[in-house]
Amino acid sequence: MLLEAPFTEEKMRRLHVGDKVEITGLLYTGRDAVHKYLYEGGKSPVDLTDSIIYHCGPVVVKQGKKWVVKAAGPTTSIREEPYQGELMKRYRIRGVIGKGGMGPRTLAACSEVGGVYLHAIGGAAQVLAQRVIEVPAVHLLEKFGSPEAIWEFKVERFPVVVTMDSHGNSLHQQVLDTSETALRKLL
Please check whether residue 62 is in contact with residue 68, taking contact to mean a CB–CB distance below 8 angstroms.
yes
Rounded to whole angstroms, the Cα distance separating 123 from 126 reads 8
Q: Which residues inside 40-59 make contact with another protein, applying CB under 8 A?
A: 56-59
Q: Does 97 contact another protein by CB under 8 A?
A: no
Q: Does 95 contact another protein by CB under 8 A?
A: no
87-121 burial: b if 16+ Cβ within 10 Å, else e: bbeebbbbbbbbbbbbbeebbebbeebbbbbbbbe
Q: Which is nearer to another protein, 51 or 77 (CB)?
A: 77
How many residues of this chain interact with another protein, rule: CB under 8 A?
Answer: 48
Angle, helices 81-91/32-39, rounded to nearest 10 degrees: 60
Q: Could you list the active site residues?
A: 35
Footprint on this chain of another protein (rule: CB under 8 A)? 18, 20, 33, 56-59, 61, 70-73, 75-76, 78, 99-101, 119, 121-127, 129-130, 144-148, 159, 161, 163, 171-172, 174-176, 178-180, 182-183, 186-187
